[in-house]
Amino acid sequence: MQGILDKLGHIHALGANVLYLTPIFASPSSHKYDTSDYQLIDPSFGTLDTLKLLVEQCHRRGIRVVLDAVFNHCGSDFAPFVDANKKGTESPYYEWFHFVEPQPEAGNPLPYRAFGYEKNMPKLNTAHPAVAEYLIDTAIYWTKEAEIDGWRLDVANEVDHDFWRAFRSRLKDIRPDIWLIGEVWHDALPWLGGDQFDSVMNYPLRTLALDYFVCRRIDRPSFIHALIRLLMQYPEQVNANLFNMLGSHDTARLLTACDGRHEILMRLLVFQYTFPGVPSIYYGDEVGMTGGEDPECRRTMNWDANGWDSDILRHIRQLTAMRKQERALQTGEIRFLDTKEEELLIYTRHHEEELVLIVMNLSEGWKNEELAPTSIGADVVTGIYHDRITGRKVYADRSLIRLSLPPGESVVVPMRAVQAV
């Protein structure tokens, strides 16, 4: 954590206002998802004082801190498991876990249930009152002691709902604005009814974005239809809080996922920053680090600025500043526009008198487009507007908006809409 403190200026310069850390608690592995002691920070990361200082310095810069809670399973050297595994039913912790008869033919050679059949990750019985109390008290302790601002909840869909309801209730009692983010890779509606999580990691959006922008597995109408269906799954306030990531410690790095194609990565970032939800950048992606799936995506941060892609870094800083300044990009409703040009993706974000027009040219040629206010869904105040990315001028009046886009270019144009009286 001292390393993060030393480089906090870099994170702040990105414009980030949330820092999410993967597990920091004691564990024998490098990934730390096999916790051996929930009450102790792993010595390789520092101490409680280091964490407190990190949180304090983040808060001074307007950055909230989110920790990773691994409550679906623990490590095989977690003291209660060691005791239960050794003593069996004589252990007071026996019912904290799921001991079973090994079934090698069914894929489970272990005498207990474990995450992914990994022997060093025995599954916790979160339905047991003592387990639930221990884990929730642990989260409360760190929330109070270190004054953190949220929890990312690992393998959240494999933990029973009653546990998460109790978890939310207790945590919100001491910190009403605490941010609870579940790791759910599929439809997460059962967890987003207001009684469990505030948000989830939006892996379905990542899949759709890569299918459309990178792999071209789907055409524009199919992409838009899938996005609308995704937005319709959850209430509006949930969509606004979804953790929209294009890369994580469980996926290939963004530039690698884009097959090294710089222009596609830049376009994906524009989409991420202009779509409803909370854009998230995985460390290193902002400077063009590469790597396939685990363990390649988990290499240490490259701090040699000579090896950075300064264009990506500049692009992300620009997009972050733009999003903070444009309220429509934070809370505005989204509207997809029809066009005869298959290689153009056009949509707007609209909040009261603020309107942002987003147009992406996916082709290798120039594209010209004229948009009528009826298609945008709002009258536009006549004037000359400017693309926030290139500074290009866009002329608009109450009857027509004219656009001319070079090959592969995206524009994000804030406009003024005429307020209905």
Give me the residues paired with residue 179 across strands: 150
- Cis previous bond, 190, omega within 30: no
Element (H, E) at 220: helix 220-233
Report the candidate in 167, 81, 164 with the shortest Cα–Cα distance to residue 121: 81
Q: How far apart are CA 170 and CA 176, in angstroms?
A: 10
Q: How far apart are CA 138 and CA 55, in angstroms?
A: 18
Look up tokens 């096999």; give the residue.
Answer: 34
Residue 76 one-letter amino acid: S
Q: How far apart are CA 171 and CA 180, in angstroms?
A: 9
Q: How far apart are CA 282 and CA 72, in angstroms?
A: 23
CA 314 vs CA 59, 105, 106, 389: distances in Å? 24, 54, 51, 10
Per the structure block, which two tokens stand in for 62? 């307007």
Report the candidate in 279, 211, 214 with the shortest Cα–Cα distance to residue 244: 279
Q: Which of 42, 149, 154, 326 is catalytic?
A: 154
Residue 225 one-letter amino acid: H
State the DSSP code for 418.
P
Report the candidate in 222, 216, 223 with the shortest Cα–Cα distance to residue 259: 216
Under 8 Å between Cβ of 288 and 312? yes
Q: Which of 183, 198, 326, 387 is catalytic?
A: 183
Q: How far apart are CA 201 and CA 208, in angstroms?
A: 14
> Burial code of 367-399, b = ≥16 C-beta within 10 A, e = fewer?
bebebebeebebbbbeeebebbbeebebebeee
Under 8 Å between Cβ of 326 and 356? yes
**Is there a catalytic annotation at residue 154?**
yes
The residues that are catalytic are: 154, 183
